[in-house]
Structure 1
């Protein structure tokens, strides 16, 4: 598979990606690294190599082992054989999930959404005794990138109502007295104080994008000048991805006419992609260097992803798709 060529196929539901959080936990960090640099369920990944890789980020051995254990429970990785030290491999479901999420992260913001003026609206009524269900509904709607227009009226741009219809049915079908409706609507005044744009705190989002640009400005300049060494590149590139990956999940991707001017998302995306692209080969090289003493086949399996529309995307190195033959 070539760098950046990732499938949009929806992955299996039984693989649970850890939630993104401020300051990566070892579990979340390891998930990021696996998604970025490993693209085959055939690769044998020794635990000792994982421990060495996470050590680059200041993660202790005990924390690294705990992260491995948690990713096994989540179905992202599985053990291969019964040897000691343990050997892991990515599951086929995890590969599908990683490819889908990498495409989502790397391609977000590349093209403006096709806008038809249509919104999906979800409205619900839950008896006062259904306090827990009400919180569950709100959490689920937020995860689907809905926002509360009013207390029990939630909206999101676009026309795909199937996910929210299914979610509300699952959460409220057994709640006595609960009612809900899902509608396709258009607003007479989209950008006014009573329209859908008023439901979004775009000022906070714009500030987050601007902060990202400021945070990584010096790294972008250094990367462009070739002043970042391989060891620094691995940590810096991973940090940039961890910082960027929150935006596709919190940015509602509103049409241009509903956004304030100037809107800093494109500058943030350009900053991220330049760092991600320029440091990719260096980070891959460092990862191989760190893992190779514990994983002799590391160079055959470790690769790196880049956005498919990036003109600087290099030809792939590493990341072969079949298991190497076992020596006699």
Structure 2
């Protein structure tokens, strides 16, 4: 975990050299649910289909994820409203829900359109304060996860800040928080020490380390030569990057340290996408079994 409960990025290695240590030739350690969301976003989103459970098992076997973990992930995602079951004969299929479609579209926008670099900040901050009963532990967890995804960082006493104007009603929709939030937007006023406030809300050390680990793994002529194919490489790479994006508050570039590694990482991501996206899709499309919805 990062400071004040903020999720830490994967592989928090603090080394900054360009040569890859031996462990960085291995695939990143990623949760099956994160890999599942990447798979769904790339090969199911935008199609009115439900995918046969066996297709998930076969696809994730090439990532080293076993059948039990895949079935458990699918079941948990159904329980959380992220997938819907559809039976066809004796076969079980899984399709997207409106909630998962919204999450996947937002992730696609963050990764491929907006990116992790805020180059046009107008000085607007969003300040959000909340106080929830101790018994609302699940709601508090979901709220904090959504705030972190939207670029908020905590500054104490249930107060979070984001360096942008955030559509908070859309962000917290469905959590039942009417009357429990206080939200303000506007520029910071003197005598606010903006750099100090950013340092309090956002722990950039682990985030920079995560970006450097991404570069060590992928910024090489032939990344992961032992991978079974380009589908595995593409899913691993985009999922690792999405985990970084999820933890990245997209701070204004004027407040980032010189040589911020996300600049190079984002450029590399797009270069490798150009290499692997088409062959990965051919492999995925050939292997997927689904029914029309």
Which whole-Å CA distance do the structure 2 matches of 1:181 and 1:76 have between them? Answer: 28
How far has the Cα of 1:206 moved from its partner?
2.2
C-alpha distance in 1 between matches for 2:195 and 2:46: 50
TM-score w.r.t. length of structure 2: 0.71
Deviation for aligned residue 1:267: 0.1
User: Residue in 2 aligned with 1:222?
Assistant: 222
Note the C-alpha offset of 1:245: 0.4
Contact between 2:9 and 2:244, CA under 8 Å: does it hold in 1? no
Q: Counterpart of 1:50?
A: 56
Is 1:275 matched up with 2:272?
A: yes
1:11 maps to which residue?
A: none
Contact 2:151 2:250 (C-alpha < 8 Å) held by counterparts: no
Matched residue, 2:144: 139
Gaps of 5+ in 2: 1-6, 11-28
Instruction: Calculate the TM-score normalised by the size of structure 1.
Output: 0.65
Q: Secondary structure at the match of 1:279?
A: helix
Partner of 2:86: 80
Q: Which moved more, 1:61-70 or 1:244-253?
A: 61-70
2:255 to 241, 258, 261: 258
Aligned to 1:204: 206
Say if 1:109 and 1:46 are closer, same or farther in 2 by CA, change over 3 A. closer
Contact 1:41–1:89, Cα closer than 8 Å, also in 2 = no
Deviations 1:39-69 (A, max 9, x none): 3443352222222212212233333333333
Give secondary structure in 1 for the equivalent of 2:155.
strand
- Alpha-carbon distance in 2 for matches of 1:246, 1:37: 19
1:103 to 88, 103, 109: 109
Q: Which moved more, 1:22-31 or 1:227-236?
A: 227-236
Higher radius of gyration, 1 or 2: 1
Backbone CA RMSD of aligned residues? 4.0
The Cα shift of 1:260 comes to 0.9
Deviation at 1:157, TM superposition (A): 1.1
Count of aligned positions: 265
